[in-house]
């Protein structure tokens, strides 16, 4: 073959691989169905482009997919600075054995995930932000550890679209949809443990943001004895869940551990001899010996409709993952009054505010008193790292706030132990000074006196006073006691109670 022929042959081969083909041609090459092809296209496994409202593809991309080659996403610049920062953060935290990959974008995403798992992160946050000065924007990667966000890395905002596309592809979302919110799921395995990631993509004014919630299957195995309630609070809760009927309400703000406690209660009482059913939106974890019903608004399955059906299914225990409206509340009360044990949750900052909220929904105080057995309200506070905390007296202004808080909650400040400890920070806690979280709580048992006061439109303060006189230790009092014993910093109690 002459040099000219070789040149022409090479040019022909190049032209063939750069050839643009239609969707029908691509489907024919892959020998698949149109619906399957669309699924691959939406998830980013196949790269395409729209020309005059029609999809077009490079033959070489289709043939690469046919050979099982992973699609590489084009990067506008190097992602190595992000990879280096993640590895540097891992070194500072004493984390080793992180993954490697030939594809730099894949390596960066895998590092985000592995580092988050090893640092006990609950949520990964990646979003564009405006810098402090000027209009320049930057993408920021943050981890929520023990309820508090920590900045991990600043990322050039030009890399954000490629990173979002990769996350979408992994979560089986539509990589081409950039104007509507999307939710996806990633199942992976790290250190022989199944990891469940729920990803949410949200368009913002500066670009798309990503929030990835890390679901820990350990939650379904939590036992009540593993939750560090004060002895009298634990005794009250155990007594309530071992009753044959009545309503138990777990309350607190978002992220205070309500769902974990409900699962722990259900774990404690569920068995082959007892029929337990739940209504959830959505079902976060599947559990043994529990019939779990998901809310499906598109199909018309709401909390009230699901609960009415459950009542016809002969349950002993009913779990309602949230009470938001009067109709759901009234059905829950009906269940409790007709011989069922009901465990549910409501958003309220204090136990007495749950009573106030139920009245505000339109429930009768007498029915509230008859159906409600126990209200548990709590917060999660960060525990001091056992390897690096030190004994230290808090500043005078913190002590002054704490003393006033003790007086307002019926505590004798002078009788407290006052062995205060403060965080330091080391490699074992990721230099945060904290490791894990503890619960501070209050439990309100319904009594005739509280029911009467509720019917007489008693104020929050009056209801709180009656509950404390009848043996309730408030959240604030529980937190102050634990801080005075050096279990948690005093500043952490004030932070969680928004009293800094």
- Tens digit of each residue's pLDDT (9 = 90 or more) over 398-407: 888 888 888 8
* Cβ proximity of 403 and 415 under 8 Å: no
Q: What predicted TM-score, i.e. pTM, was given to this entire model? A: 0.79
Is the distance from CB of 497 to CB of 479 less than 8 angstroms?
Answer: yes
| Angle 315-317-321 from CA coordinates, rounded to 5° | 115
pLDDT at position 12: 37
pLDDT at residue 428 in the model: 79
* pLDDT at 217 (0 to 100): 65
Residue pair 208/201 in contact (Cβ under 8 Å)? The answer is yes
Residue 348 phi/psi, 5° resolution?
-160, 145
317 has which bridge partners? 276, 341
Q: Read off the pLDDT of residues 296-327 as tens digits, 9 standing for 90 and up.
A: 888 888 999 999 999 899 999 999 998 999 99
131 neighbors 154 (Cβ within 8 angstroms): no
Distance CA(42)–CA(36), nearest Å, equals 10
At residue 436, φ and ψ (nearest 5 deg) are: 85, 175
pLDDT at 357: 93
434 and 384 in contact (C-beta within 8 Å)? yes
Distance CA 172, CA 187 (A): 11
Q: Which residue has the tokens 């929520």?
A: 144
Q: Quick one: pLDDT at residue 11?
A: 41
Q: How many whole angstroms separate alpha carbon 216 and alpha carbon 141?
A: 21
Rounded Cα gap, residues 193 and 216, in angstroms: 10
Return the pLDDT at 71. Answer: 65
31 in the Ramachandran plot: left (φ > 0), alpha (ψ -120 to 50) or beta? left
Q: Which parts of 258-412 are beta strand (E)?
A: 276-280, 290-294, 317-320, 341-346, 372-384, 390-391
What residues contact 498, with CB distance under 8 A and at least 6 apart?
A: none
- Domain annotation for the chain: domains and CATH numbers: 14-66 (no CATH), 80-215 (3.30.450.90), 219-496 (3.40.50.300)
Q: Identify the segments of the chain with pLDDT beneath 70.
A: 1-17, 69-71, 133-134, 217-221, 499-500
Instruction: Spell out the residues 6+ positions from residue 369 whose beta carbon is closer than 8 angstroms to its own.
Output: 446, 448, 450, 451, 454, 455
């Amino acid at each position: 073959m002459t040099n000219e022929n070789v040149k022409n042959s090479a040019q022909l081969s190049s032209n063939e691989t750069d050839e643009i083909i239609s969707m029908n041609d691509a489907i024919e090459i892959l020998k698949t169905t149109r619906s399957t092809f669309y699924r691959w296209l939406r998830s980013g496994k196949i790269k395409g482009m729209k020309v005059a409202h029609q999809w077009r593809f490079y033959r070489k991309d289709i043939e690469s997919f046919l050979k099982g080659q992973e699609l590489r996403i084009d990067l506008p610049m190097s992602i190595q600075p992000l990879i280096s920062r993640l590895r540097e953060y891992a070194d500072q935290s004493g984390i080793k054995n992180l993954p490697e990959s030939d594809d730099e974008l894949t390596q960066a995403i895998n590092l985000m995930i592995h580092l988050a798992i090893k640092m006990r992160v609950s949520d990964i946050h990646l979003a564009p932000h405006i810098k402090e000065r000027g209009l320049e924007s930057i993408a920021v990667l943050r981890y929520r550890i023990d309820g508090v966000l920590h900045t991990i890395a600043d990322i050039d905002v030009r890399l954000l679209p490629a990173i979002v596309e990769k996350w979408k592809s992994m979560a089986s979302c539509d990589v081409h949809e950039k104007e509507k919110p999307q939710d996806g799921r990633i199942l992976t395995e790290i250190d022989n443990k199944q990891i469940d990631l729920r990803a949410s993509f949200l368009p913002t004014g500066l670009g798309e943001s990503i929030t990835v919630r890390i679901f820990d299957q350990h939650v379904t195995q939590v036992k009540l004895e593993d939750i560090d309630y004060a002895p009298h609070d634990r005794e009250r809760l155990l007594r309530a869940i071992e009753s044959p009927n009545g309503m138990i309400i777990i309350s607190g703000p978002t992220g205070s551990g309500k769902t974990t406690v409900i699962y722990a209660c259900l774990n404690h009482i569920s068995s082959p001899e007892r029929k337990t059913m739940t209504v959830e939106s959505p079902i976060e974890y599947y559990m043994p010996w529990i019939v779990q019903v998901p809310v499906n608004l598109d199909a018309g399955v709401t909390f009230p409709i699901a609960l009415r059906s459950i009542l016809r299914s002969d349950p002993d225990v009913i779990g309602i993952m949230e009470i938001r409206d009067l109709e759901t509340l009234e059905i829950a009360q009906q269940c409790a009054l007709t011989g069922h044990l009901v465990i549910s949750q409501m958003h309220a900052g204090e136990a007495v505010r749950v009573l106030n909220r139920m009245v505000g929904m339109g429930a009768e105080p007498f029915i509230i008193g008859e159906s409600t057995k126990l209200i548990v309200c709590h917060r999660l506070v960060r525990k001091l790292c056992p390897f690096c905390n030190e004994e230290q007296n808090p500043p005078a202004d913190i002590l002054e706030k704490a003393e006033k808080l003790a007086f307002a909650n019926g505590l004798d400040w002078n009788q407290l132990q006052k062995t205060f400890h403060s965080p330091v920070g080391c490699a074992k806690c990721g230099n945060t000074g904290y490791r894990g979280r503890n619960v501070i709580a209050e439990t309100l048992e319904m009594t005739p006196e509280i029911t009467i006061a509720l019917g007489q439109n008693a104020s929050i303060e009056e209801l709180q006073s009656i509950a404390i006189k009848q043996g309730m230790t408030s959240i604030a009092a529980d937190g102050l006691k634990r801080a005075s014993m050096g279990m948690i910093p005093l500043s952490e109690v004030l932070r969680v109670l928004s009293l800094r």
